[in-house]
């Protein structure tokens, strides 16, 4: 079985809860929080700052687990694929993007975006 944990970001961002993550439940000597520590999340800076024009992705690493909350810290930054590809797409060419909505057996809805 698996447990859902809330992912919390540092206080420097305007939004503190960015989603949920799965981890296997504690069984025997395997502790669930150990499986979460060191996990890296990539989040759009536009989502963290309520800014539609931000084109960077922030990397956040889980440093601590308190109850059902994963506490993260800044781990790095990268550009979004549309900003990276904007210089690669030439005249008379198009960039293909795709997304799929997936519903888990638990009833959660996930959106997968490929570019």
3-state secondary structure of 104: coil
Percentage of the chain beyond pLDDT 70 is 83
Q: What does DSSP assign to residue 81?
A: H
Instruction: Identify the pLDDT of residue 86.
Output: 61
Encode pLDDT of 41-95 as tens digits. Answer: 998 888 888 777 677 888 999 999 999 999 999 888 887 766 656 665 566 666 6
- Report which of residues 114 and 43 the model is more confident about: 43
pTM of the model: 0.66
- Contact present, 15 and 44 (Cβ < 8 Å): no
3-state secondary structure of 36: helix
Extents of the domains making up the chain: 2-114
Instruction: Identify the pLDDT of residue 89.
Output: 58
3-state secondary structure of 103: strand
């Amino acid at each position: 079985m698996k447990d859902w944990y809330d992912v919390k970001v540092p206080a420097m961002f305007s939004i503190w809860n960015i989603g949920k993550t799965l981890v296997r439940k504690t069984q025997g000597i395997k502790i669930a929080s150990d499986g979460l520590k060191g996990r890296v999340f990539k989040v759009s800076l536009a989502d963290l700052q309520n800014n539609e024009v931000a084109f960077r992705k922030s990397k956040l690493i889980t440093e601590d687990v308190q109850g059902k909350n994963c506490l993260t810290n800044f781990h790095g930054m990268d550009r979004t694929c549309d900003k990276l590809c904007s210089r690669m797409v030439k005249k008379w060419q198009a960039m293909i993007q795709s997304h799929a909505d997936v519903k888990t057996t638990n009833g959660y809805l996930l959106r997968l975006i490929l570019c």
